[in-house]
Amino acid sequence: MKYLCLAYEEESSLNALSRTEWDALRGETLSYLEELRMRGHLLSADALQSARTATTVRVRGGRVSLTDGPFAETKEQLGGFFLINARDLNEAIQVASRWPSARLGSIEVRPIEEELREESRYR
């Protein structure tokens, strides 16, 4: 089953890391990505630019409105994602718990809907 793991980070915490700390975290992340690839778990992964570069798009009554920045005003912002294959939710949680920046932020693990349901969007 596929799971999307959303990595939420506090920019100020990452920006406060020394160069040595950042290099260690980055190296650990790249190593873990390679491990996930080799184990057949990793389907895709990417980091996102700062939430300050985001544009939120809404369409209401046929009119498009744009807002600079993310929709939510929170300390933690979506910093990246990794899409994995896992046997079940327990295995997906184990994979996510080893993501290095989980020590500084959080990882949201969500199952992928393989197709858009006919009867209802959400169960």
Could you state, in order of their start, the residue ranges of all structural domains in the chain?
Answer: 2-111
pLDDT in tens, 15-55: 999 999 999 999 999 999 999 999 999 999 999 998 889 88
Cα–chain center distance at 80: 4
Backbone angles phi, psi at 92, to 5 degrees: -60, -40
Cα–chain center distance at 26: 16
pLDDT in tens, 41-93: 999 999 999 888 988 899 999 999 998 876 666 778 899 999 999 999 999 99
How crowded is residue 3: how many other Cβ atoms within 10 Å of its Cβ? 22
Q: Could you tell me which CATH number the domain at 2-111 has?
A: 3.30.70.1060
Instruction: Report which of 92, 112, 116 is spatially closest to residue 102, judged by C-alpha positions.
Output: 92
Rounded Cα gap, residues 104 and 111, in angstroms: 23
The amino acid at 101: S
Instruction: Report which of 81, 102, 100, 87 is spatially closest to residue 35, judged by C-alpha positions.
Output: 100
